[in-house]
Structure 1
Amino acid sequence: MENKVKKQSDQEKTRALTSTGVINFKNRLTIVLEGLSGNAFAKKVGMSEAVIRDYLCGKTYPSLNRLATIAQKCDVPIEWLVTGKGECRLLPESQGKGSIDIPFHHLNETNSAFSVLETIPFDITLIKHHGCEVDNLVAVWAKGDSMEPTISNHDILIINKAYAKPIDGFLYAVQYDEHISIKRIQNQGANLVLISDNPKYPAMVVDRKEQDDFKIIGHVVYLLKDLN
Structure 2
Amino acid sequence: MSTIHERIKRLRENSGLSMEALAALLSLKSWQTIQQWENGKTAPKRSRVDDVARVLNTTSEYILFGDAQAQTGNEVKETPAANESEFTNIRRFDLRASAGEGRLVFDYDALEPFKIRSDFLKKNGASEKNTFFMTAKGDSMEPIIPDGADVLVVENGHEIINGKVYVFFLNKNIYIKSLSKTEGGIVALSYNHAYDPMFIGPKDSFKIIGRVIMCSFVL
In the superposition, the TM-score normalised over structure 1's length comes to: 0.53
Whole-angstrom distance in 2 between the partners of 1:174 and 1:131: 19
Whole-angstrom distance in 2 between the partners of 1:197 and 1:109: 22
The equivalent of 1:103 in structure 2 is 91
Report if aligned partners of 2:131, 2:155 keep a CA contact under 8 Å in 1: yes
Code of the residue aligned with 1:146 in structure 2: it is: S
Report if aligned partners of 1:170, 1:184 keep a CA contact under 8 Å in 2: yes
Q: Is 1:215 aligned to residue 207 of structure 2?
A: yes
Whole-angstrom distance in 2 between the partners of 1:113 and 1:146: 22
Q: 1:194 aligns with which of 170, 188, 192?
A: 188
The equivalent of 1:157 in structure 2 is 151
1:97-147 per-residue CA deviation (whole Å, 9 max, x = no partner) reads 211111101145766553422311111121112121221101001101000
Whole-angstrom distance in 2 between the partners of 1:198 and 1:107: 22
What is the DSSP-based 3-state SS (H/G/I as helix, E as strand, rest coil) of the residue aligned with 2:119?
Answer: helix
1:136-172 per-residue CA deviation (whole Å, 9 max, x = no partner) reads 1010011010001111011111100011111111000
Q: How much does 1:197 deviate?
A: 0.8
Bigger helix fraction: 1
Q: Is 1:226 aligned to residue 218 of structure 2?
A: yes
**Structure 1 unaligned residues grouped into runs of 5+:** 1-18, 20-95
Higher relative contact order (CA 8 A, sep 6+): 2
Matches within 5 A, 1:65-76: none
Q: Is 1:114 aligned to residue 105 of structure 2?
A: no
Report if aligned partners of 2:157, 2:210 keep a CA contact under 8 Å in 1: yes
1:173-216 per-residue CA deviation (whole Å, 9 max, x = no partner) reads 01111111210001112200011111111111011x34x71111
Whole-angstrom distance in 1 between the partners of 2:121 and 2:136: 20
Whole-angstrom distance in 2 between the partners of 1:139 and 1:198: 22
The equivalent of 2:73 in structure 1 is none
What is the DSSP-based 3-state SS (H/G/I as helix, E as strand, rest coil) of the residue aligned with 2:145?
Answer: coil
The equivalent of 2:10 in structure 1 is none
Whole-angstrom distance in 2 between the partners of 1:226 and 1:113: 26
> Alpha carbons of 1:193 and 1:114: their partners in 2 closer, same or farther (altered >3 Å)?
farther
Q: 2:172 aligns with which of 178, 198, 219?
A: 178
Report if aligned partners of 1:108, 1:143 keep a CA contact under 8 Å in 2: no
Report if aligned partners of 1:100, 1:123 keep a CA contact under 8 Å in 2: yes
Report if aligned partners of 1:145, 1:152 keep a CA contact under 8 Å in 2: yes
State how many pairs are aligned.
131
In the superposition, the TM-score normalised over structure 2's length comes to: 0.55
Alignment RMSD (CA, Å): 2.1
Whole-angstrom distance in 1 between the partners of 2:180 and 2:106: 27
Percent pairwise identity = 27
Report if aligned partners of 1:171, 1:184 keep a CA contact under 8 Å in 2: yes
Bigger strand fraction: 2
Whole-angstrom distance in 2 between the partners of 1:193 and 1:213: 14
